[in-house]
């Protein structure tokens, strides 16, 4: 069985490889979309059909709880217009110092957006506002 850390490094390196192939903006868009596609499939495999249609804010709150419980971060909080992930699994694996522009940060945003669309049938867009090792802050719209 593959260890989770190895799989994580593969995802981060794949995101950086996509950036090398198609450029910064293209990689961010592709990785965000990959997360949006993966989020609903992951939730469906975990819980099956979602029995209700939640308001967007409640779906965001629950997405944070689920992702935290799955181990994507030590803490993921839904606060006044922001999502704050602390001790996340991605930022320590990013090579270099330009963390906010890493496509994997956009993959994580897309994953949250996909969870929300699965639970609410509404669209939400997350934009990274602050990214440092061990912490990502997204502004949501």
pLDDT value of position 51: 79
pLDDT of residue 47: 84
- Give the H or E element holding residue 82: strand 82-88
Q: Which long-range contacts (CB under 8 A, 24 or more apart) does 1-5 make?
A: 4/71
Q: Using the 8-state DSSP alphabet, how is residue 13 labeled?
A: H
- The whole-number pLDDT of residue 134 equals 97
Residues of the chain with pLDDT below 50 are: none
Query: Between helices 103-120 and 24-47, what is the axis angle to 10°?
Result: 40
Give me the pLDDT at residue 92, please.
92
> What tens digit of pLDDT does each residue of 78-95 get?
988 999 999 999 999 999
- Give φ, ψ of 55 to 5 degrees: -65, 150
All domains of the chain, ordered by start, with CATH?
4-140 (3.30.1380.20)
Q: What is the pLDDT of residue 53?
A: 92
């Amino acid at each position: 069985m593959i260890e989770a850390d190895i799989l994580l490094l593969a995802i981060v390196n794949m995101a950086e490889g996509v950036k090398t192939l198609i450029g910064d903006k293209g990689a961010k868009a592709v990785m965000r979309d990959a997360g949006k596609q993966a989020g609903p499939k992951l939730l469906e495999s975990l819980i099956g059909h979602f029995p209700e249609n939640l308001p967007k804010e409640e779906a965001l709150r629950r997405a944070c709880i689920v992702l935290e419980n799955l181990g994507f971060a030590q803490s993921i909080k839904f606060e006044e217009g922001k999502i704050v992930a602390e001790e996340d699994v991605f930022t320590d694996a990013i090579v270099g110092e330009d963390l906010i522009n890493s496509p994997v940060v956009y993959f994580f945003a897309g994953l949250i957006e996909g969870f929300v669309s699965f639970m609410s049938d509404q669209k939400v867009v997350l934009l990274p506002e602050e990214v440092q090792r061990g912490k990502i802050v997204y502004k949501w719209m």
